[in-house]
Amino acid sequence: MHQRLLNVTRDLEQAQDALLEFYDPDRLYDFRVASRRIRSILKQSSNHRSRAMRKTWGGLAAVTGDARDWDVFLLTVKKLLEPDALDAFRQINEEQITASRAAVIEMLESAPWRRHLQAWEHYLETSDENFSDPEAGQAALDQALERARRRLLSARATGSDRRWHKFRISVKEVRYVAEASPDAASSAEAIETCKKLQTRLGDWHDTVVQLNLLDELQTAPVHEELTVLIQSRKKQFLSQIRAMLAQNPLFSMPPP
C-alpha cells in the first residue's frame, strides 16, 4: 500500500497544480478524491503518527467542501431550470460561489498547507508501516465491509439522512481500501459494486446538501421552485439505491 500512497500523492499534487493554474470543478473533484484515498489508506494503520497525519489531511481538505457543494449545485440547477431562472439563481448567489472557490485557492497557497506537504513528504520517506502485507489488506477490507453493513442496517431502520450519509461514507471507504488491497479475495467485487452504488449515493447526498443550502439562502421564487424539484429527486434517488442494494448481497449482513 505504500506504493499506492505514492501514486495517490502524485495524483493529488497534479490536481493541486492544476487548481493553482485556474479553478475548475473537475480539478477540485480530482483533488478531493485523492485526499480521500490517502486518508482511507492511513485509516488502516494503528500508528499514532499515521492517525495524526490523517487528521491533518481531513482538516485541510474540509476547506474545499463548500466549493464542491456549489459546483455540484450549479450543475443540478442547469438541468432543472430554464435559462432566465438559471440567470436569476446565479445573480442571487454569485458572491457565495466566488467566495467558496477563493477559499480553496487561499488554502492551497497558505503556509500551513505548504508545511503539511513537507511533513507528508517526510512521512512517506521515513514511514516503517507495512502497507504491503496481503493479510493486513484483507483484514482492512473485511473491517470496512463490516462497518458498512452495520451502517446500512441503521440507515434502513431509521431512514434518516444522517444514517444514510454514514453508509455512503462507508461505501467510499470500502472502495478505497479495496483499491489499495488488490490481492484481497473480495477486492474486485467490492470495487465494482461500490462504483455503481457510489454514483447513486452521491446523487442522493447532493440533494440533501442542496436542500440544506436552500434553507439557508434568502427567500426567492427560484429557490422555492428548486426546493420542490430537488425534493422529488431526493426521493427518486433513494428508491433507486434501495433497489440496487436489494439486487446485490455485498452489504447484506451474513446470517448469525
Note whether residue 13 is domain-resident. Answer: yes
Q: Based on the domain organization, do 2 and 125 belong to the same domain?
A: yes
Note whether residue 7 is domain-resident. Answer: yes
Question: Do the Cβ atoms of 190 and 174 come closer than 8 Å?
Answer: yes
Question: Which pLDDT band holds residue 253 (cuts at 50, 70, 90)?
Answer: confident
Q: Based on the domain organization, do 118 and 185 belong to the same domain?
A: no
Q: Based on the domain organization, do 5 and 122 belong to the same domain?
A: yes
State the number of CA atoms in the 13 A half-sphere of 75 facing the CB: 11
Print the domain residue range for 164: 133-246
Q: Count the neighbouring beta carbons within 10 Å of the beta carbon of residue 233.
A: 18
Give the Cα separation of 22 and 231 in Å (integer). Answer: 34
Note whether residue 211 is domain-resident. Answer: yes
pLDDT score, position 131: 53
Note whether residue 120 is domain-resident. Answer: yes
Q: Based on the domain organization, do 173 and 233 belong to the same domain?
A: yes
Cell of 252: 447484506
Note whether residue 2 is domain-resident. Answer: yes
Total number of domains in the chain: 2
Provide mean pLDDT across the span 118-126.
93
Provide mean pLDDT across the span 248-252.
89
pLDDT score, position 185: 77
Note whether residue 253 is domain-resident. Answer: no
Q: Based on the domain organization, do 104 and 168 belong to the same domain?
A: no
**What's this model's pTM, rounded to 2 decimal places?**
0.86
| pLDDT digits 0-9 by tens, 171-184 | 999 998 888 777 77
pLDDT score, position 156: 94
Question: Do the Cβ atoms of 29 and 68 come closer than 8 Å?
Answer: yes
Residue type, 217: L
Question: Do the Cβ atoms of 57 and 43 come closer than 8 Å?
Answer: no
